[in-house]
Amino acid sequence: MTDTNKMIINLAIFGTTQSGKSSAGNILLGSDDFYSSLSPGSVTTECSLGRSCHLRSFMRRGGQEITLQTQVLDTPGYPHSKLSMKHVTQEVKKALTYHFGQEGLHLALLVQRADVPFFGQEASSPVQLIQELLGDSWKNHTAVLFSHAEKIEEAGISEDKYLREAPEALLTLLRSVQQRYTFLYERGNSCNEERVKILETIMEFIKENHYQVLSFT
């Protein structure tokens, strides 16, 4: 926080290749800062930081209206189709230290496609990356962001039904992060509405953590 009426939240996005990380980052920022494209391989190869514009009167705190700014770190997919796991780990570690070393990270967002089954080595790889980079308190600073949620909606599956039918590995992950999750719906023209809804949920998680951050010095 720089002054009493302004709050900056720092987020980093993780997930497997083509899970929807850059696209989710753009929704959070309300921009198209991150290049996002359908591809048979990995598109993002480097970390990059995006900053949103100021959202005035986003919330009230201590009787004051708070202006919110979001900083989002987009990261390469893990596993990656061109880069080794070691390379991606080093790249993300460097970027976390560079961008959030002093200010700290509020929350890591693990992007998981809602329309793709969660199982096996591939789905657990980004969880291992988060653990390695965030350390022991990763569970208090991670939330799962289910992308492509409109696809399960179109299939007539509610969020509750989705979670009732989820495999044990996913339920275990959600328990580990203390049920911090949210569904992201891409519905064309309602991008701003979706952004505000997701940011409100993320703010709730950050508040529950008493605004504590993880530093990388």
Binding site for ligand GTP (CB under 6 A): 15, 17-23, 36-39, 42-44, 77, 147-148, 184, 186
Choose the one of ligand GTP, Mg ion, none that binds residue 71, judging by a C-beta under 5 to 8 angstroms depending on kind. Answer: none
Q: What single letter denotes the amino acid at residue 24?
A: A
Size of the site for Mg ion (CB under 5 A): 4
Helix (H) or strand (E) holding 69: strand 64-74
Instruction: Supply φ then ψ for residue 178, to 5 degrees.
Output: 55, 45
Using the minimum distance from each CB to ligand GTP, give the nearer residue, 17 or 70: 17
Please pick, from the candidates 16, 17, 19, 22, the single residue that binds Mg ion as defined by CB under 5 A.
22
Which segment (35-43, 80-88, 129-137, 169-177) binds Mg ion by CB under 5 A?
35-43
Burial of 165 (C-beta count, 10 Å sphere; 0-12/13-18/19+)? exposed
Structure-token match 């976390």, residue found: 96
Q: How far apart are CA 24 and CA 135, in angstroms?
A: 24
Asked if 44 interacts with Mg ion (CB under 5 A), we say yes
Structure-token match 């190869």, residue found: 45
Q: How far is the CB of 19 from ligand GTP (least distance, A)?
A: 4
Which parts of this chain interact with Mg ion (CB under 5 A)? 21-22, 43-44
